[in-house]
Amino acid sequence: MSDMTTPGAASADRGYVPMVLAEQVSKSFGSHEVLKSISLEVKRGEVMCLVGPSGSGKSTFLRCINHLEVLSAGRLSVDGELIGYRETSGKLYEMAPKEAAKQRRDIGMVFQRFNLFPHMTALQNVMEAPLRVKGLPKAQAERTARDLLARVGLAERADYYPAHLSGGQQQRVAIARALAMEPKLMLFDEPTSALDPELVGEVLDVMKGLAKEGMTMIVVTHEMGFAREVGDSLVFMDGGVVVESGDPELVLSNPQHRRTQAFLSKVL
């Protein structure tokens, strides 16, 4: 990516650093352009909800933020630090995988599928990254993991294997596992879409608690009630572009763009 020039606008105001700054972010898979010059920012403590039809680029954008996908153009910063690239003489060069992995420690991600290790208990799943990546002493990692399981309402399920937990419980373990690395930013990629309807609420309740505690979150979701109640901003994406954004209540109750109106008429 040595051909990518840098806008430099991000450094103009040294007093304010957003938690996430996307500048003209584009991503293509072959000839298919999934993201087309996305520019947006997320303030510290903000909950941004990304909504839109399947294939609109929401999940790809999320994966670009922690460099699980390599940008085709543009730049992304988290807490003032370029993600996945090093800047030299106005050009961006991709970091080595180990360097990118170090940055990823500060960004928690929760996927649609829970991705828990099936051969580990809930407690062991939450302990694993602090032990292996951070090198925490076992006693400290276990203490923290038990605290986090209690925080997501699963203190009594610490010794259960994923196969013996409901989908909602597994997703709450996945959230606890992400929090175990003490991230500054949490990314949620449709965290309730794989759950039975009666289990959705228990996961959303955990996320509402995180929002109240001031965690910066970007949430790809179809749960419009959550977006309305918890979101500080709502971004509607379609065709790889941001079509409309603003206060969730305003966008949901009075969408301005025809594409937003058509989408919301089907989901509200």
Say whether 223 sits in a helix, a strand or coil. Answer: coil
- The residue among 171, 224, 227, 174 whose CA lies nearest residue 202 is 171
Mean pLDDT of the chain: 92
Please report which confidence band the pLDDT of residue 220 belongs to, taking 50, 70 and 90 as the band edges. very high
Locate tokens 């010794």: which residue?
159
Cα–Cα dist 22/33, whole Å: 17
Cα–Cα dist 90/2, whole Å: 9
Q: Name the CA radius of gyration of the chain, rounded.
A: 19
> Whole-model pTM?
0.91
**What is the DSSP track for 31-50?**
TEEEEEEEEEEE-TT-EEEE
- pLDDT, tens digit, for every residue of 83-141? 999 999 988 889 998 998 889 999 999 998 888 999 999 999 999 999 999 999 999 99
- Average pLDDT on 58-78 reads 95
Please report which confidence band the pLDDT of residue 14 belongs to, taking 50, 70 and 90 as the band edges. low
For residue 48, what are its two tokens? 């941004």
